[in-house]
A and B are shown apart, each in its own frame.
Chain A
């Protein structure tokens, strides 16, 4: 019996011209890439700390360190953030963990694609696998930090609100937003290293424009600025779901999540159609 052979045609035409075909192959590749993404994720996690003595301990250090610094600054009244409605260490720790998850998601796509250059330039595998790996890694890092959060909640004997069940949704939204921005920047970031450096500095500035270590400001222009920041409603809402149970920015949360999903799809299309041009310029 004769098999029906899959026929692939490569032409200079833009893939957007046959959009239906593009969508079909995106769906197909996404399905095909699940197992590979899992393998790559396991590989990266396994390799991450294997050559270190303290191992996973390193995953806890950054949020702990940041938290301790802000607690110190606040307790010494060097920086007075006012009333946060909960123990300040808990406030900072949840904020930092959530922020770090967003920042991870933002940096991860460009990092993973850069690290996989030699693979990309030589093997035709479903490129979606790298995005899935990137998301998986962010989720994994979050899971590790979750241990810290649980510990802190126990320590302060704060009883989480029942809305805690919505928290995974909040985390997911933050990861989607970060991945979306990161993915949109990836093609140009592979061409120009400026992007990677700008992301590193930009993330730091962004941190201070987000109510991570301070509550939502009441002063006019600071409030506008922080309010314009798309991370604000996501982070605020997630933290509120976690602790107070009363979401103050639900409307912003919903529309930013929806917009991130639409833009994430655009980023995915861009990533796909840019890839051959990026590979042509990768050293192999």
Chain B
């Protein structure tokens, strides 16, 4: 493991102005200050200003990948622009060592009416390649983008995904020491995104990577540490990626997001989890028994009904589905007094916060009678730190006969 520090940010801050008119005038002032040789930090906020990035400090060594996460408007892009030298910090100090490759906006400088071939040369030059280098890499670029047949098509006829492909493929030819990636893969198709991740993983050992994404699976997949920022401030910084992601999700108020649908024929009253305590957040440990109690009302006319259960993680990905219909367990109606228990075995989820949806249907799962989304939330604490949602211990054995 190399110990070279490639990126160092110390107490970096940047102020922005909310009003356009004022912002322009401050721009004139800032340029004036440059001309008179201003020195040192700009400590005060002028009228209508706020700290878009506030006192951020971190260090990144070669071989490390920093996930930069935070809600919209948290200051991520502003921080990246400062790291890339596009804008100056108002306070603090940034030291970047080595070649910086930034995948911020792919295909910037593409001219829509020029062909892909022409644009590869233009975009390549913008990224700092010489004509010779591009000649040399031209086939590799087209090959990576898988756009050989469109090489002489004007880029305006490309779909947004194709443009990103082309842009990424050109940028991928850089051999950076520091790689900055800002949420650029959102429009690529699955195959291409997988390819890009493969490429980034290849670069990882020789690079310091800063990765901005709203996709937590991607973050936990490639990042070795995270920096969570909100309102310009660092709210978490460290090597515990899942803790960072939890901190990120805790910035959003998930509780109270209950949406209820009840026909006159049924109603879900409440859900309890055995051994998880009471109140706002129910807490479970990995390996605990996982038993849910659901209290509900179903109209007396209905003799038998089915119940379904869905468990979501914080990114609203469905993790667990269970249904009495598929289990072929008959739920005979007790009208006001239905108390259903469902045994889900042991808790096998990774650490995180989960929410539960319950729905009641008729016996054959055709008519929806009642549904509550987010009726309960629970937290799982686990010593596992893998990135997949379901974590099994498994039973491991070497069954080879041979001693050696």
Contacts and interface: CB of A to CB of B under 8 A. Distances in A.
> A and B bound?
yes
B42 interface: yes
Contact of B81 (A14, A16, A17, A279): A279
Interface stretch (A3-11, A59-67, A100-108, A199-207): A3-11
A6 B125 CA distance: 20
A160 to B, nearest CB: 37
A6 B37 contact: no
Counting chain B CB atoms within 10 Å of each CB, which of A32, A120, A276 scores highest?
A276
B34 A273 contact: yes
Contact of A14 (B28, B39, B93, B177): B39
Contact of B105 (A11, A123, A281): A123
A11 B27 contact: no
A284 B77 CA distance: 10
A31 interface: no
A182 to B, nearest CB: 17
B369 to A, nearest CB: 50
Nearest to B131: A35
Contacts of B127: 123, 125
Contact of B88 (A40, A116, A277): A277
B109 A119 contact: yes
Given A12-B41, A14-B34, A123-B104, A281 B24 contact: yes
Interface string A96-136: 00000000000000000000101111111100000000000
Interface in A28-42: 32, 35-36, 39-40
Contacts of B125: 35-36, 39-40
Interface residues of B, number: 58
Contacts of A274: 31, 34
Contact of A277 (B34, B91, B102, B113): B34
B121 interface: yes
A39 B88 contact: no
A124 B37 contact: no
A187 interface: yes
A112 B197 CA distance: 36
Contacts of B131: 35, 39
Interface of A: 5-17, 32, 35-36, 39-40, 43, 46-47, 50-51, 116, 118-125, 187-188, 191-192, 270, 273-274, 276-281, 284
Given A6-B99, A9-B95, A122-B104, 19 more contacts: A9-B94, A10-B93, A10-B94, A11-B89, A11-B92, A16-B37, A32-B128, A40-B125, A43-B122, A46-B114, A118-B108, A121-B86, A123-B105, A123-B126, A124-B100, A273-B34, A276-B88, A277-B87, A280-B27
9 contacts: A9-B94, A16-B35, A32-B128, A35-B130, A122-B86, A191-B27, A276-B86, A277-B30, A280-B87
